[in-house]
Chains A and B, each alone.
Chain A
Amino acid sequence: MPSDRQSYAGADRTSDRPTGFRNPWFQFVLNIIGVVIYELLLKAGAAATADPAKSWSWIGINALASPLTWLGIAVIIIDLVIWLYILKYIPLSIAFPLSRTVDALVPISCWLILKEAISPLRWCGIALVIIGLVVVAKPAAELEERL
């Protein structure tokens, strides 16, 4: 098994890495913000149109009746373009675990904005996710050094 300092496959596009607004790590932050926004919009849109009595409602098509869902879809499309851009420069095995920042941010946002309850055990889980993110951030930082 390779050490932390060995090279990451898929991180070979280093010489022409963009800077400023096009920096993949800056785009990464935008992507995470986008995920939090569209998840909240989709939940609000789905909740506004929920009709669990219909068997086909599992595929969620009736949620398209809500403008909030369409707004969420617009954010998803923008976020998808950003994510594809990120994947061009950062290995999936690093980008995806780091993107799980949303697993802490979404429940916290639901608690703050949608007034959903969060139990103490769930808070512990959120804390564990944050610790894991800190651990994963080290390989990401080493990748950045090579970039």
Chain B
Amino acid sequence: MSAIAIAIILVWLATFVSGQLLFKRAMDLSSKVGFRNRRTISTLGIGILVMTLSFCLNLGLLQRFDLSYLYPFQGSSIIIIAVLAAIILKETLTPRLIVGTLLIAAGVALVSMS
């Protein structure tokens, strides 16, 4: 795998994680201040823009790699999202949830290496 491929995958992961956090923040905001509130709409809008970039990069990567090889890389975002959801969104991480998340990430890594 070339350096540019690794770089593109990292940017793809970063945009994907950011988009998910923005989506959750937007939905939390919609519950508190309403869906038509400016903060909700702007957060959701930025999330959609970031996810659109992630989508385009995903298409570019799909043209070069088998889906079954490429797709599990996204699984590494599980740990990142769980940690950032706890830090940024103040969600609760239980020991069981952490273990399950690590198992899934390990499985995804194994799939990626094979």
Contact = CB atoms under 8 A, between A and B. Distances in A.
Interface residues of A, number: 72
Contact of A84 (B27, B57, B107): B27
B96 A139 contact: yes
B97 A94 contact: yes
Specify the main secondary structure of chain B where it touches its partner.
helix
A101 to B, nearest CB: 9
Contacts of A12: 31
Query: Which of A2, A46, A138 has most chain B Cβ within 10 Å?
Result: A46
Interface of B: 4, 8, 20-21, 23-24, 26-28, 30-31, 44, 48, 51, 55-64, 66-68, 71-72, 74-75, 77-78, 81-82, 85-86, 89-97, 99-114
Interface of A: 1-4, 6-10, 12-13, 39-40, 42-43, 46-47, 49-52, 57-63, 69, 76, 80, 83-84, 87-88, 91-94, 96-97, 100, 102-104, 106-107, 110-111, 114, 116, 118-122, 124-139
